[in-house]
């Protein structure tokens, strides 16, 4: 086998906002040769096909569009001096800090002094959600739909049902309308959100809350989505297109094949506030850590990881025996989920959490080995489709030799 | 000779054997027509292609291998548990040897992983020696009994409570999609006419010739072979016979992500009971793990949907066999229909006076037995007045490798240097290159849907199910069609 063997200082796997943010910051800080590998032909990640506003801005509808945001991230990384290579796929590990790649230009084996994984997240497809029924064409995730419409201008169908009522689901509905489809309903097993209706006054799409999909029907083409309401009523929504939205899972193949410990909640690599995984010299950033937060959050994480990467390049130090963080149901996950020995705080001094069910003004209790470390009430409700946060100023109370720190909610 | 494949429109003289490309006229009659281009029909067509015969292979759908053949457990059986002395036992034993050799020659991926029949209680443990004896009666002599310790050493992720197993070291896994494609490719290249989207509606049987009225017009054939799978009984009745009834038996299966592959080394079979062969856990040649099938007798030959109850049942069974499997992501859920006839044995029946052979009731062993069934049918044809002449060797065919255990184009530096399209990955989960997609789209038997392309390349078949590549793969497919 002929593989070209090379070494770099920092290898970043994934050219979405997180990887590009890390690359820009590292290259600008004099980390040496910083190389970003992107398997798609164009870098920029998922924002490339999100043709809606809100990127880079905090108000709904503000900021710039996804493609413009993606181009901005790419330009910043290249301007800073990072080497960005597209159409290059990392296919596996050949050593603790060595990967094999495939590209049209050939096969390589690249060894780095530090590796930053930024492989992102994807939506769970219909099969992974175990939705029964037939398997006709016309079944999409938001990611596939947006690429089909915005990148390839493909014909989709005429009547669509969207499964999900979170921001991603509403982006899917917008894309369907751009493609000329009628969105006949949005279906969610959660109570339908009144907030969503208030923020989108022109949107008259019926939202079926507390409703589950029981089957897809159709052979040559999708003919309908069978649903069951919480009160037991069943019906079939006639449509030729269905989009399964949200339900993100980190794209963790490389992390798992590298035998990094995964967090059971996020399904991404376990990591500490310095973005260190359990693999020495391997950092992780962006939605690989928590499918899924905003592009802006991923970019900020990428940038924030640069300082610890530089520190590691200088000292070679790597922590062992970090204290894990875990959540109790109905909380889904917390990120970061390891506590480093050096007292570093996560981005913006707070942890990010998600819940599986709505919590009205929840009271969080942080404990280690039965000892209470922190208690904090959230004034706004916590809802499943949005991140909420927990202050991190109690970290100095953690016993580094103690057991798992658990976050419960009352 | 340019291959003849037709997919749409009325069959014209140009499509039929009578008119040659040079304009010369011949009798517009096929010597043999095989109805059904599943793995069995395609194998028969390939066997016929070795002779100087005018052969047609028809299928009602838009692709070969598009029914039962595309949705099964993809196992190359030894036949250790067949009914000793039955036709099926012989065809499975011979077919397995033939297909194993053919796979090695053509590049169809096969992995000899071995099977373990796992006993979960005393009663099942007590049943194993009889199964060992049955394997011996089937002329299979490599099986042996394992105690609980040996079993655990072989399969450390097995759930608690397994008491022992019968080991069948030669049970193998095979690619169910490349096999019929290899057969069809060789058959078509050797001059067999393949007519797709061509459903047989009605048959008139004269003294010399069968006249087939299809959805795409009329064709004539001297000999007729019914390999119509689930619909073989309907075709049989069309000819005035009433030998068997096909009751579709649905098998639902769950495919787990490739990251689960390390959990299981062998095909894990249950000890068969009166209720059937039961639910297995098996690796696939694509590097996934399969859980299933169910066995549900239905009356609807189109009921290939999955059901919530079956998914729940399979997950319960799977949790007992391999608890960690249930934590892994699911890549696909599918259902296939086996052509059950209520008979243990297959229903291969020749009517020499009518120049007709029914190949019915081919169930889950059809893939394994396909090449032996083809040879058997050829012998039966000889007995019914067809003089096929002497056979010739078919030019060899090399199939693209879809198997995870064998080198794939994305790993081949020389191939990529010669053609960078093999280094351009389109489907990331399955690492399918633009070069492989192009090859499939321009192959001898090209796909007519993205689904057909998926079975030829695995593009879109991975854990993301098209989240990343679905639109790009469709674009390549549509570009090739225009």
pLDDT tens digit string along A5-57? 999 999 999 999 999 999 999 999 999 999 999 999 999 999 999 998 889 86
Q: Which two tokens stand for residue B57?
A: 């292979």
Q: What's the angle, vertex CA B283, arms to CA B281 and CA B284, rounded to 5?
A: 125
A147–B471: do the CB atoms touch at under 8 Å?
Answer: yes
pLDDT number for residue B1: 60
Report how far apart, in Å, the C-alpha atoms of A146 and of each of A29, A177, A229, A249 are: 36, 11, 29, 18
pLDDT number for residue B12: 84
Q: Which residues pair with B248 in a beta bridge?
A: B339
Of A107, A141, A152, the CB nearest to B467: A141
pLDDT number for residue B3: 84
Query: Residue A159 in contact with residue A239, Cβ under 8 Å?
Result: yes
CA distance A145 to B392: 51
Give the residue from chain A lying closest to B431, CA to CA: A91
Confidence of residue A197 (pLDDT cuts 50, 70, 90): low
Average pLDDT, chain A: 94
A127–B331: do the CB atoms touch at under 8 Å?
Answer: yes
All residues at 6 or more sequence positions from B228 whose CB lies less than 8 Å from its CB, including other chains: B35, B36, B41, B200, B234, B235
CA distance B266 to B454: 26
Contacts with B425 from chain A: Cβ below 8 Å: 39, 89, 102
Q: Which two tokens stand for residue A278?
A: 């359990």
Site from B452, B461, B466, B482 to mutate, A interface, most A CB atoms within 10 angstroms: B466
B308–A39: do the CB atoms touch at under 8 Å?
Answer: no
Give residue for tokens 């073989």. Answer: B232
pLDDT number for residue A194: 65
| 3-state SS assignment for residue B210 | strand
The one catalytic residue in B77, B195, B220, B448 is B77
Confidence of residue A315 (pLDDT cuts 50, 70, 90): very high
A148–B465: do the CB atoms touch at under 8 Å?
Answer: no
CA distance A378 to A365: 11
Whether omega before B254 lies within 30 degrees of 0, making that bond cis, reads no
CA-wise closest residue to A348 among A381, A379, A389, A406: A389
* Chain A: closest CA distance from residue B221 (Å): 31
Number of inter-chain CB pairs under 8 A, A vs B: 122
Is the four-CA dihedral A157, A159, A163, A165 of positive or negative sign?
positive
Residues present in chain B in total:
482
* Chain A: closest CA distance from residue B293 (Å): 15
A140–B416: do the CB atoms touch at under 8 Å?
Answer: no
pLDDT number for residue B272: 87
Q: What backbone phi and psi angles, to 5 degrees, belong to A249? A: -135, 135
Give the residue from chain B lying closest to A91, CA to CA: B431
- Mean pLDDT is lowest, of A264-273, A292-301, B2-11, B78-87, for B2-11
Give residue for tokens 């067509």. Answer: B45
* Chain B: closest CA distance from residue A249 (Å): 10
| Helix segments in A207-354, DSSP class H | 253-257, 295-315
pLDDT number for residue A193: 67
CA-wise closest residue to A50 among A125, A122, A145: A145
Give the residue from chain A lying closest to B304, CA to CA: A134
A148–B470: do the CB atoms touch at under 8 Å?
Answer: yes
Contacts with B426 from chain A: Cβ below 8 Å: none
Contacts with A220 from chain B: Cβ below 8 Å: none
CA distance A395 to A398: 5
Site from B303, B419, B464, B479 to mutate, A interface, most A CB atoms within 10 angstroms: B464
Query: Residue A244 in contact with residue A139, Cβ under 8 Å?
Result: yes
Of A130, A137, A148, the CB nearest to B333: A130
| 3-state SS assignment for residue B105 | helix
CA distance A217 to A195: 32
Site from A144, A145, A243 to mutate, B interface, most B CB atoms within 10 angstroms: A144
Directed axis angle between helix B366-383 and helix B178-189, to 10°? 30
* Chain B: closest CA distance from residue A295 (Å): 17
- Burial of A328 per CB tally in 10 Å (0-12, 13-18, 19+): exposed
A132–B307: do the CB atoms touch at under 8 Å?
Answer: yes
CA distance A3 to A102: 9
DSSP 8-state code for residue A182:
E
Contacts with A87 from chain B: Cβ below 8 Å: 424
pLDDT in tens, A221-259: 999 999 999 999 999 999 999 999 999 999 999 999 999
Query: Residue A133 in contact with residue A30, Cβ under 8 Å?
Result: no
Report how far apart, in Å, the C-alpha atoms of B149 and of each of B145, B160, B263, B265, B319 are: 12, 12, 18, 16, 21
Residue A123 host element (H or E) = strand A121-123
Of B305, B306, B431, the CB nearest to A91: B431
pLDDT number for residue B13: 80
Query: Residue A217 in contact with residue A226, Cβ under 8 Å?
Result: yes
A148–B471: do the CB atoms touch at under 8 Å?
Answer: yes
Q: Which two tokens stand for residue A112?
A: 């780095």
CA distance A105 to A122: 27
Q: How far apart are the first and last CA of chain A?
A: 59
- For each of chain B's 482 residues, which pLDDT tens digit applies? 678 999 999 998 878 887 555 555 555 899 999 999 999 999 999 999 999 999 999 999 999 999 999 998 999 999 999 999 999 999 999 999 999 999 999 999 999 999 999 999 999 999 999 999 999 999 999 999 999 999 999 999 999 999 999 999 999 999 999 999 999 999 999 999 999 999 999 999 998 999 999 999 999 999 999 999 999 999 999 999 988 999 999 999 999 999 999 999 999 999 987 666 789 999 999 999 999 999 999 999 999 999 999 999 999 999 999 999 999 999 999 999 999 888 878 899 999 999 999 999 898 899 999 999 999 999 999 998 899 999 999 999 999 999 999 999 999 999 999 999 999 999 999 999 999 999 999 999 999 999 999 999 999 999 999 999 999 999 999 999 87
- Mean pLDDT is lowest, of A193-197, A344-348, A361-365, B88-92, for A193-197
Q: Which two tokens stand for residue B436?
A: 């492989």
CA-wise closest residue to A38 among A126, A112, A120, A142: A120
Query: Does the predicted TM-score (pTM) go above 0.90?
Result: yes
Q: Which two tokens stand for residue B84?
A: 């000793």
B193 among known catalytic residues:
no
Contacts with B420 from chain A: Cβ below 8 Å: 104-105
CA distance A201 to A203: 6
Report how far apart, in Å, the C-alpha atoms of B225 and of each of B7, B41, B42, B358 are: 20, 8, 11, 6
Of A1, A3, A134, the CB nearest to B304: A134
ipTM above 0.90, yes or no: yes
A130–B475: do the CB atoms touch at under 8 Å?
Answer: no
User: For the stretch B358-373, what's the b/e string if a residue is b when 16 or more beta carbons lie within 10 angstroms of its beta carbon?
Assistant: bbbbbbbbbbbbbbbb
pLDDT number for residue B19: 57
pLDDT number for residue A190: 86
* Chain A: closest CA distance from residue B430 (Å): 10
Give residue for tokens 């004099």. Answer: A30
Contacts with B332 from chain A: Cβ below 8 Å: 127
Q: What backbone phi and psi angles, to 5 degrees, belong to A17? A: -55, -40
CA distance B172 to B77: 7
Q: Which residues pair with B144 in a beta bridge?
A: B167
pLDDT, mean of residues A55-61: 65
DSSP 8-state code for residue A84:
E
Of B255, B311, B421, the CB nearest to A132: B311
Directed axis angle between helix B366-383 and helix B39-48, to 10°? 40
Report how far apart, in Å, the C-alpha atoms of B401 and of each of B175, B407, B409 are: 9, 8, 8
CA distance A254 to B482: 37
CA-wise closest residue to B308 among A236, A228, A384: A228
Contacts with A135 from chain B: Cβ below 8 Å: 304-305, 334
Report how far apart, in Å, the C-alpha atoms of B278 and of each of B247, B314, B343 are: 18, 10, 18
Query: Residue B113 in contact with residue B168, Cβ under 8 Å?
Result: no
Sheet holding A241-244, edge to edge: A139-141, A241-244, A159-163, A182-187, A207-208
* Chain A: closest CA distance from residue B278 (Å): 21
B463–A219: do the CB atoms touch at under 8 Å?
Answer: no
A219–B302: do the CB atoms touch at under 8 Å?
Answer: yes
């Amino acid at each position: 086998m002929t593989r070209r063997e090379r070494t770099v200082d920092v290898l970043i796997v994934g050219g979405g906002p997180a990887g590009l943010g890390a690359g820009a910051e590292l290259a600008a800080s004099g980390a040496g040769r910083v190389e970003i590998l992107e398997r798609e032909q164009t870098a920029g990640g998922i924002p490339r096909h999100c043709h809606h506003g809100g990127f880079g801005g905090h108000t709904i509808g503000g900021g710039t569009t996804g493609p413009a945001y993606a181009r901005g991230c790419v330009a910043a990384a290249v301007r800073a001096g990072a080497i960005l290579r597209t159409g290059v796929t990392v296919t596996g590990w050949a050593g603790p800090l060595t990967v094999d790649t495939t590209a049209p230009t050939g096969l390589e084996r690249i060894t780095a002094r530090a590796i930053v994984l930024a492989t992102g997240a994807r939506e769970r497809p219909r099969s992974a959600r175990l939705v029964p029924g037939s398997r006709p064409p016309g079944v999409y995730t938001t990611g596939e739909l947006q690429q089909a419409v915005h990148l390839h201008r493909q014909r989709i169908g005429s009547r669509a049902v969207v499964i999900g009522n979170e921001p991603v689901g509403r982006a899917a509905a917008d894309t369907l309308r751009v493609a000329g489809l009628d969105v006949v309903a949005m279906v969610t097993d959660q109570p339908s959100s009144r907030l969503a209706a208030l923020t989108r006054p022109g949107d008259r799409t019926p939202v079926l809350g507390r409703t589950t999909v029981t089957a897809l029907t159709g052979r040559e083409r999708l003919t309908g989505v069978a649903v069951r309401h919480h009160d037991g009523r069943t019906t079939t929504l006639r449509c030729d297109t269905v989009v399964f939205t949200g339900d993100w899972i980190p794209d963790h193949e490389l992390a798992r094949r590298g035998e990094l410990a995964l967090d059971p909640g996020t399904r991404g690599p376990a990591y500490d506030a310095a973005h260190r995984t359990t693999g020495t010299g391997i950092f992780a950033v962006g939605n690989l850590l928590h499918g899924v937060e905003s592009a802006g959050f991923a970019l900020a994480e990428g940038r924030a990881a640069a300082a610890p990467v530089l520190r590691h390049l200088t000292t070679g130090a790597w922590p062992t025996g970090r204290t894990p963080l875990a959540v109790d149901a109905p909380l889904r996950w917390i990120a970061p989920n390891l506590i480093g020995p050096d007292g570093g705080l996560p981005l913006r001094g707070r942890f990010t959490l998600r819940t599986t069910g709505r919590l009205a003004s929840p009271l969080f209790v942080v404990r280690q080995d039965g000892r209470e470390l922190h208690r904090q009430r959230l004034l706004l409700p916590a809802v499943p489709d949005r991140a909420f946060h927990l202050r991190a100023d109690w970290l100095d109370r953690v016993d580094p030799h103690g057991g798992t720190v658990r976050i419960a909610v009352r | 000779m340019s291959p003849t494949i037709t997919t749409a429109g009325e069959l014209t003289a140009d499509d039929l054997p009578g008119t040659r490309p040079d304009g010369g006229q011949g009798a517009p009659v096929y010597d043999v027509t095989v109805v059904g281009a599943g793995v069995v029909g395609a194998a028969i067509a390939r066997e016929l292609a070795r002779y100087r015969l005018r052969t047609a292979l028809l299928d009602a759908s838009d692709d070969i291998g598009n029914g039962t053949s595309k949705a099964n457990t993809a196992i190359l059986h030894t036949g250790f548990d067949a009914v000793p002395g039955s036709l099926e036992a012989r065809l499975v034993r011979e077919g397995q040897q033939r297909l194993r050799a053919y796979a090695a020659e053509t590049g169809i991926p096969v992995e000899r992983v071995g099977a373990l029949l796992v006993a979960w209680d005393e009663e099942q443990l007590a049943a194993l020696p009889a199964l060992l004896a049955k394997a011996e009666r089937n002329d299979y002599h490599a099986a042996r009994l394992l105690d609980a310790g040996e079993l655990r050493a072989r399969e450390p992720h097995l759930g608690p409570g397994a008491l022992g197993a019968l080991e069948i070291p030669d049970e193998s896994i095979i690619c169910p999609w490349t096999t019929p494609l290899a057969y069809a490719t060789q058959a078509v290249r050797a001059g067999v006419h393949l007519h797709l989207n061509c459903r047989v509606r009605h048959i008139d049987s004269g003294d010399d010739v069968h006249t087939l009225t299809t959805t795409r017009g009329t064709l004539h054939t001297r000999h007729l072979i019914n390999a119509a799978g689930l619909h073989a009984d309907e075709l049989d009745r069309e000819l005035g016979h009433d030998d068997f009834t096909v009751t579709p038996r649905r098998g639902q299966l769950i495919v787990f992500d490739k990251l689960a592959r390390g959990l299981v080394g062998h095909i894990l079979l249950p000890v068969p009971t009166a209720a059937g062969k039961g639910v297995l856990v098996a690796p696939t040649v694509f590097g996934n793990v399969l859980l299933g099938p169910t066995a549900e007798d239905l009356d609807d030959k189109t009921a290939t949907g999955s059901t919530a109850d079956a998914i729940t049942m399979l997950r319960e069974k799977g949790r007992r066999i391999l608890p960690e499997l249930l934590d892994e992501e699911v890549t696909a859920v599918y259902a296939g229909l086996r052509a059950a006839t209520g008979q243990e044995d297959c229903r291969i029946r020749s009517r020499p006076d009518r120049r007709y052979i029914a190949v019915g009731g081919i169930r889950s062993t059809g893939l394994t037995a396909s090449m032996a069934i083809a040879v058997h049918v050829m012998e039966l044809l000889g007995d019914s007045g067809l003089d096929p002449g002497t056979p010739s060797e078919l030019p060899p065919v090399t199939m693209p490798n879809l198997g995870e255990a064998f080198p794939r184009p994305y790993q081949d530096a020389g191939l990529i240097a010669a053609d960078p399209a093999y280094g351009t990955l389109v489907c990331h989960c399955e690492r399918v290159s633009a070069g492989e997609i192009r090859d499939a789209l321009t192959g001898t038997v090209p796909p007519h849907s993205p689904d057909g392309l998926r079975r030829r390349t695995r593009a879109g078949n991975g854990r993301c199910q098209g989240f990343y590549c679905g639109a790009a793969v469709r674009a390549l497919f549509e570009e090739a069609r225009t």
